[in-house]
Chain A
Amino acid sequence: MKIAGHPVPHESARGHVTGEALYTDDLAGRFPQLLHAWPVLAPHAHAMLTQLDASPALAEPGVHATLTVDDVPGENDSGANRRDEPLFPGETMYHHQPVAWVLAETLEAARRGAGRVHATYEVLPALLTIPDAAGAESLHAGPLRLHRGDPAAELRKSPYRLDGSFEIGGQEHFYLETMASIAWLDESGGVAVHSSTQHPSQTQEVVARVLGVPRHLVTVECLRMGGAFGGKEVQANPWAAIAALGAWKTRRPVRVRLPRVLDMALTGKRHPFLARYSAGFDEEGRLLALEATLYSDGGWSLDLSEPVMWRALFHLDNAYYVPAVDVSGFVCRTHKTSQTAFRGFGGPQGMLAIEDILDRIARRLSLPPEVVRERNFYREGQTTHYGQPVKDAGRISAIWQQLLQTSGFAGRRAAIAEFNAAHPHRKRGLAITPVKFGISFTAAFFNQAGALVLVYRDGSVQVNHGGTEMGQGLHTKIRQIAAESLGLPLDAVRIMPTRTDKVPNTSPSAASASTDMNGAAVADACDQLKARLAPVAGAMLGCPPDAVSFSGGTAHGRGNPVQSVGFAEVVEAAYRQRIALFAQGYYRTPGLHFNQKTGQGEPFHYFAFGAAVTEVEVDGFTGEHRVLRVDILQDVGDSVSPLIDRGQVEGGFVQGLGWLTLEELLWDAQGRVATAGASTYKLPSWCELPEVFNVDFLERATEPGVIFGSKAIGEPPLMLAISAREALRDAIGAFGPGGVVALDSPLTPERIYWAIEKGRGNLILQTTADSGVIRA
């Protein structure tokens, strides 16, 4: 039986549904003498810490120790890409920034102790918005720039020109498992850390840096995460560093777990963006030129904001060919949480801009948006604005045509027009949008992965690889890949928790590339093992090594399926012949290059394609909306694990729907996150679930050069939700007389309501002029 490509449940599913699966903070009970940590929080968005006296905390019963900058033996910095994140700041840079920590026997005592710490501040002016920061030239990075041709000249020549700008809101990760870490000193003088981190190697690096020890003294383990979505790519590090520092100082295990309200106040989010653009186009709606400037709110430190901006610029084209382009990005420095990776990593913001532009163009020309979109698709042979050929560009149109058919688009368009004509206060909208998403880390050196596969004498197998499990099903796919490669049943393969002492110098589990890279590394190790076992099996079967194949837990000679020998017997025989039964695998993604100075190169291994059709209904009195139906067609290559991929598509879409229609981050005038809990920050619940939700995969879509012909799936589906935003725009437009509908994001009911009101205003004016009929 084929194992890869077969729908299997999540590798930890039994643990999940019975509550037996353990997460970092679930381990607290296993650590006697555990100390609990609580931070002392700065009460200003920007201030100098003029005085800090932590000693009063020690008078609180149960408090064991405090942590301040004086306790740091190494470097007082947890920054990932730049040393700009003091773990204990002298100048506080965002509201609630921790300035000291208290360690106590119970969490309650630690919290009371933190309340006793004496700190004084000199308040400084704070920058809290993109316009403020841009105006003050408070920047982390920029301009980053990609360009092709002479868009200024083309704009002048274009028959039509559109100028616009709009705001794109951020997004709270709200991974259900908040930041968690437990650190202790191991039996041999090292520091061991359990951390809910997407990047154990970097967590290890930061812990070692703060403690001033070589990395070989630090071991970081990530068991599994209760969701991460990018939020734990670099931002798990400071909490692990605090736990490790506490353990280092007290010689006792230390637990850091942020309660939700602290997690939301202290950790970064998806970047809010401001997009400004000028587009030139012809009467058919074909794009001729694009100039755009993107501003992101990076928050207090650089974090991953620069590569996020690069990815936004790389995806400003989405699936469309633009002959002349000049786009640049600036990362603004504000006194807020440091915004960070979030599923899509800037891609969603870039795509939202071009989809906004195309819809406005279509409405400006009174053409159906789907027609204008299709006219602008990449064709085979064209290259992106950064010079990368769009391989398989024909798939964009193929997916589009198939989905228009299967979703019954044309018929529904007509039915909606009828519905809208009959309902003055409720309108439906329909839209189809494409996704083309580049796969690979844009930091080329991250595109490598390692694995360590151990075979025991009974034929059971342990697989270690550099990727982390956050619910995306990576371990499930890796297990399938290992079992398929070695011809073993799934049960024979155990995936080990991710540890830095098994596979060193790993890359984060991010960029949707974890299966591509770690899967290939595991397959490499398995192939080496098979090559070593084949001669042994051949001798046992009486056939040449190259005639041996492994499947179903046995080895057999090709053309002689009757005669076979069990995998365990082969392994035992190999052991006795002194053949190494473990192998390291390695993979590096071939052919990637990009020059930041020229803005040219091929930063992606391939593109993942998809499209979605969404139908919505909007209430004109309240702006409330329902998603009636979603149809998705996604290119996943030859899926390694169809059940997992389906879950990623559904879940990614719902998360994107939240970002674009429900989730609104608000900060108050003091720089506090005003939406600091699920009671004020609206997350998708299943009331917002589309009533009909069809997900299909493109067939005959083998991707050569990727593990088992598969394609990445983690991030691309999130951007399919842009179809919901465009469907809402369609419905909003139906309340008015037609024409351009300008919208910021997210489209909360409030924002929809005001957009309808604006449209209705137009309606009164225009119908008065046209026909003398006033419809209130």
Chain B
Amino acid sequence: MSSKKDPQLPAERKGRFSRRGFIRGVGIGGGALGAGLLEKEATAAPPAGGVVGPGAIPITLNINGKPVNVSVEPAVTLSDALRDYLDMTGSKRVCDRGTCGACTVIMNGKSVYSCTVLAIDAQGKNIETIEGLGGPDKMHPVSQAFWNNDAQQCGYCTPGFVMACKGFLDEHPNPSPEDVKHGLGGNLCRCGTYMGVRKAVLEAAAAMKGAKKNG
């Protein structure tokens, strides 16, 4: 299975702030008791070299073309910042650790799992979320293609799929079915709507090309 997700970690951050350690420590246990119970590797990150935090800090995120101010602890992911702090609930939190794609947003033109990006690391990036794509009355061609092909059942994976599809098509305007399989292989759907999604992506590709030609 190949995934085009890019966690978008600025190289200079890696040394100062152990993202891996952080991700391991997040979302897996009930403090001292829970930590280590659920996943053997669950160890807290060693304290970083006095960079920021642990308290909340004000940051500015550029979401759907608008600057948004929010105050979050450095440990808060972009996914949690969107859902819990900014009430943008279109992207979903499902696996909490970069395995399902339900939290996909587009950052600087590439689709990323927002649960594996820290909100503070998303500063200065162009973040596109499903909320910026167009509502039910004026659907984006990708959403429209999902609708046309009944590419959803419970809908919980769908916003992530739509965003992953948009990110993929922005980069690969002429995908073959095989490309599609690889490009969107990082998104899970438990309802099993993959047949519809496969058709939707190909239809969206055609529609977006058409839109470009006409426009």
A and B interact: yes
Query: Which residue numbers of A lie inside 8 Å of B, CB to CB?
Result: 9-10, 12-23, 25-26, 28-29, 38-41, 43, 95-96, 107-108, 111-117, 119, 173-178, 224-227, 229, 259-262, 265, 470-473, 643, 646-647, 650-655, 672, 676-679, 683-687, 689, 693
B residues 117-153 in Cβ contact with A at 8 Å: 129-131, 133-136, 139-140, 143-144, 146-147, 150-153
Tell me which residues across on chain B come within 8 A of A689, comparing CB atoms: 194-195, 198
B114 interface hit (Cβ, 8 Å): no
Supply 8 A–B pairs (Cβ within 8 Å), ascending by A: A17-B159, A28-B84, A115-B33, A227-B156, A471-B153, A652-B192, A676-B39, A686-B198
Whether a CB of chain A sits under 8 angstroms from the CB of B37 is yes
From the candidates A16, A41, A262, name the one contacting B152 in the complex (CB within 8 A).
Answer: A16
A261:B96 contact, CB within 8 angstroms: yes
Distance from A261 Cβ to chain B, minimum over Cβ atoms (Å): 5
- Chain B residues closer than 8 Å to A119, beta-carbon distance: 33
Interface residues of B (CB under 8 A from A): 1, 27-35, 37-39, 73, 75, 83-84, 87, 89-97, 99-100, 102, 129-131, 133-136, 139-140, 143-144, 146-147, 150-159, 162, 181, 184-185, 187-198
B75 touches A108 (CB 8 A): yes
CB proximity of A620 to chain B, nearest CB, Å: 22
A742 to B35, CA, bound (A): 41
Least Cβ–Cβ distance between A687 and chain B, in angstroms: 5
Contact B193 A176 (CB under 8 A): no
Name the one of B93, B152, B156 contacting A10, with C-beta atoms under 8 angstroms.
B152
A632 to chain B, nearest CB (A): 12
Are A23's CB and B147's CB within 8 A? no
Q: Is the CB of A14 within 8 A of B198?
A: no
Q: Give the docked Cα–Cα distance between A259 and B96 (Å).
A: 7
Known A176-B154, A676-B38: A647·B193 in contact at CB below 8 Å = yes
Cβ–Cβ contact B97 & A679, under 8 A: yes
Q: Are B100 and A40 in contact (CB-based, < 8 A)?
A: no
**Contact between chains at B32 and A116 (CB < 8 Å):** yes
Residues of B within 8 A of A10 (CB): 150, 152-153, 155
Contacts A19-B133, A650-B192 aside, 6 further interface pairs with beta carbons under 8 A come to A10-B153, A18-B159, A19-B131, A96-B38, A111-B29, A229-B190
**Chain B residue with minimal CB distance to A27?**
B89
Assess whether A41 is in contact with B34, with CB atoms less than 8 Å apart. Answer: yes
Task: List chain A residues, Cβ under 8 A from B150.
Answer: 9-10, 13, 643, 646-647
In the A-B complex, the 8 residue pairs with the closest CB atoms: A115-B31, A471-B154, A19-B90, A16-B155, A226-B156, A651-B192, A654-B192, A19-B130
CB-based contact B30/A655 at 8 Å: no
Which A residues lie within 8 Å of B83 (CB)? 26
Q: Contact partner of A176 among B75, B87, B94, B181, CB < 8 A?
A: B94
For B147, give its contact among A14, A177, A259, A473 (CB under 8 Å). Answer: A14
| Residue contact B95 to A117, C-beta cutoff 8 Å | no
Minimum CB distance partner of B138 in chain A: A18
> Is the CB–CB distance between B33 and A20 below 8 Å?
no
Cα of A25 to Cα of B94 in the assembled complex, Å: 12
Cα of A593 to Cα of B165 in the assembled complex, Å: 51
Shortest distance in angstroms between A748's beta carbon and chain B's nearest beta carbon?
16
Which chain A residues border B87 with CB–CB below 8 Å? 29
Counting chain B CB atoms within 10 Å of each CB, which of A13, A40, A174 scores highest?
A: A13
A226 to chain B: which residues have CB within 8 Å? 92, 154-156
A15 to B155, CA, bound (A): 8
Interface centre among B158, B184, B191 (most CB of A within 10 A): B191
A444 to B144 Cα, complex, angstroms:
43
Query: Looking across the interface, which residue of chain B has its beta carbon closest to that of A647?
Result: B153
Q: Which residues of the other chain, A, contact B195 by a CB distance below 8 angstroms?
A: 650, 689, 693
**How far in angstroms is the closest Cβ of chain B from A469?**
8
Contact call B154/A470, Cβ cutoff below 8 A: yes
A577 shortest CB reach to chain B, Å: 38
Query: Could you say which residues of chain A place their CB within 8 Å of the CB of B189?
Result: 176, 686
Minimum distance in angstroms from A39 CB to a CB of chain B: 6
B41 CB to closest chain A CB (Å) equals 11
Q: A17-B146, A19-B91 are in contact. Are A686 and B194 (CB under 8 A)?
A: yes
The residue among A114, A176, A229 with the most chain B CB atoms within 10 A of its own CB is A176
B30 neighbours in A (Cβ, 8 Å): 38-41, 111, 114-115
- Across the interface, B143 reaches (CB within 8 A) one of A17, A25, A41, A227, namely A17
**B-chain residues with CB within 8 Å of residue A672 when the two chains form the complex:** 37-38
Establish whether residues A261 and B90, one from each chain, have CB atoms under 8 Å apart when the complex forms.
no
Q: Given A261-B38, A676-B39, is A17 in contact with B156 using a C-beta cutoff of 8 Å?
A: no
A58 to chain B, nearest CB (A): 14
Question: A117 and B33: CB pair below 8 A?
Answer: yes
Among the interface residues B84, B89, B102, B190, which one has the most CB atoms of the partner chain A within 10 A? Answer: B190
Q: Across the two chains, which residue of chain B brings its CB closest to A655?
A: B192
Residue of B nearest to A646 (CB): B150
Q: How many angstroms between the C-alpha atoms of A43 and B34 in the bound complex?
A: 8
Instruction: Tell me how far the C-beta of A430 lies from the nearest C-beta in chain B, rounded to whole angstroms.
Output: 21
Question: Contacts A29-B87, A111-B31 hold; do A261 and B135 have CB atoms under 8 A apart?
Answer: no
Report the Cα distance A117→B32, complex, angstroms.
9
Tell me the smallest distance from the CB of A472 to a CB of chain B, in Å: 7
Q: Could you tell me if A225 and B154 are in contact, using CB atoms closer than 8 angstroms?
A: yes
Can you name the residue of chain A whose Cβ is closest to the Cβ of B146? Answer: A17
Which A residues touch B156, using CB under 8 A? Answer: 23, 175-177, 226-227, 471
Q: In chain B, what residue has the closest Cβ to A30?
A: B87
Instruction: Give complex CA distance A643, B147 in Å.
Output: 12
Q: Which residue of B lies closest to A654 (CB)?
A: B192
Q: How far is the CB of A524 from chain B (nearest CB, A)?
A: 27
**Inter-chain contacts of B144 with A (CB < 8 A):** 17
* Bound CA span A225–B154, Å: 7
In angstroms, Cα B154 to Cα A107, docked, is 26
Q: How far is the CA of A113 from the CA of B30 in the complex (A)?
A: 8
In the complex, chain A residues whose CB is within 8 Å of the CB of B84: 28-29, 107
In the complex, the answer to whether B190 meets A20 with C-beta atoms within 8 Å is no
Does B28 lie within 8 Å of A261, measured CB to CB? yes
Distance in Å from the Cβ of A232 to the closest Cβ of chain B? Answer: 11
Given contacts A176-B102, A652-B192, contact A20 B28 (CB under 8 A): no
Min CB gap A490→B, angstroms? 15
Q: In the complex where A12-B155, A18-B136, A113-B31 touch, is A260 in contact with B194 (Cβ < 8 A)? A: no
| Beta-carbon contact of B194 and A654 below 8 Å | yes
Contacts of B158 in A (CB 8 A): 16-17, 19
How far apart are the CA atoms of A333 and B73 in the complex, in Å? 44
The distance from the CB of A283 to the nearest CB of chain B, in whole angstroms, is 41
Give the Cβ gap from A670 to chain B, nearest Cβ, in Å.
Answer: 10
Across-interface contacts of B198 in A (CB, < 8 A)? 686, 689
Closest Cβ neighbor of A7 among chain B residues = B150
Chain B residues with Cβ below 8 Å from A224 are 154-155
What is the distance, in angstroms, from B133's C-beta to the closest C-beta of chain A? Answer: 7
Nearest-Cβ distance from residue A20 to partner chain B, whole angstroms = 6
> Which residues of A are found within 8 Å of B187, using beta-carbon distances?
685
- B169 vs chain A, min Cβ distance (A): 15
Q: How far is the CA of A111 from the CA of B144 in the complex (A)?
A: 41
A541, B35: Cα distance in complex, Å: 74
Of all chain B residues, the one with the shortest Cβ separation from A36 is B84
Contact indicator A653/B99 (Cβ below 8 Å)? no
Q: Which residue in B35, B95, B152, B194 is a CB contact (below 8 Å) of A17?
A: B152
Question: Are the CB atoms of A260 and B130 closer together than 8 Å?
Answer: no
CA distance A407 to B133 in the complex (A): 42
- With A19-B131, A471-B191 already in contact, the answer to whether A677 and B99 are too (CB < 8 A) is yes
Give Cα A152–Cα B133 distance, bound, in whole angstroms: 67
Q: In the assembly, what is the distance between CA of A62 and CA of B160, in Å?
A: 32
Q: Is the CB of B35 within 8 A of A115?
A: yes
B190 & A655 in contact (Cβ 8 Å cutoff): yes
Identity of the chain A residue whose Cβ is nearest the Cβ of B143 in the assembled complex: A17
Taking CB atoms, residues of chain A closer than 8 Å to B37 are 41, 43, 95-96, 672
Docked pose: A119 CA to B32 CA in angstroms: 12
